[in-house]
Amino acid sequence: MKQGCLIVAFIVLTSCNYFDVKKTSSEAILNEELKTFNWSEVDEYPTFAICEKETSKESKKRCFQNTLTQAITKNIQVDTIVVSQNLNDTLVIKFQISEEGKLSIQDFQVDSLTLNEIPNIKKLIHASLDSLPQIYPALKRGQQVKTAFTLPVVIQAN
């Protein structure tokens, strides 16, 4: 009986470790979550009010890009631009949309020939982007986030 009590007491004392609760800090949980987080994708792309009718994520992105391209093209075509050489260039505009929906140009790549032929091209691009309707920012997990885009714009003039 004494041996049975000793065995039971030994088991009870050594089994207490099974009841220990591991404390996990909020920082450890956050770090684990951040490892699985895909930073290069958003749940919803930035959009305009006219793109809200689109249902899929990809069609909303296409609508957004088309609206930007149309605004730039429309503004450039309004001005009469006279060139002395044929132009066939692709402008690369890198821009960012803030959490508040503000669009800002980060980088602007244009060929030197195009810049010589149309010296005010940057001003035209800025004016066309300033005349855009309200932009609704991208969403990631229900939070408004900053996004960056690259938009190629083809310039052809004869």
By residue range, what is the domain housing residue 13? 2-36
**Is residue 132 located within the same domain as residue 104?**
yes
**Is residue 59 located within the same domain as residue 136?**
yes
128 and 72 in contact (C-beta within 8 Å)? yes
Name the H helices within 44-136: 57-78, 112-117, 121-130
| Residue 89 falls inside a structural domain | yes
- Give CB contacts under 8 A, 24+ apart, made by 54-63: none
The packing angle between helices 57-78 and 121-130, to 10°, is 130
Per-residue pLDDT tens, the chain, 158 aa: give them: 777 777 777 776 666 555 555 656 777 777 777 677 666 788 888 988 898 888 888 898 899 888 888 888 787 777 666 767 777 888 888 989 999 999 998 988 888 887 887 788 888 888 888 888 899 999 888 889 999 988 888 877 77
Check residue 102 and give its pLDDT. 92
| Residue 76 falls inside a structural domain | yes
**Is residue 31 located within the same domain as residue 82?**
no
Check residue 19 and give its pLDDT. 57
DSSP state of 47: B
| Residue 85 falls inside a structural domain | yes
**Is residue 56 located within the same domain as residue 134?**
yes
| Residue 44 falls inside a structural domain | no
Check residue 15 and give its pLDDT. 64
Check residue 65 and give its pLDDT. 87
| Residue 70 falls inside a structural domain | yes
**Is residue 53 located within the same domain as residue 31?**
no
| Residue 43 falls inside a structural domain | no
**Is residue 141 located within the same domain as residue 80?**
yes
- How many domains does the chain fold into? 2
**Is residue 30 located within the same domain as residue 55?**
no
DSSP state of 120: T
Check residue 116 and give its pLDDT. 81
Check residue 13 and give its pLDDT. 66
**Is residue 114 located within the same domain as residue 67?**
yes
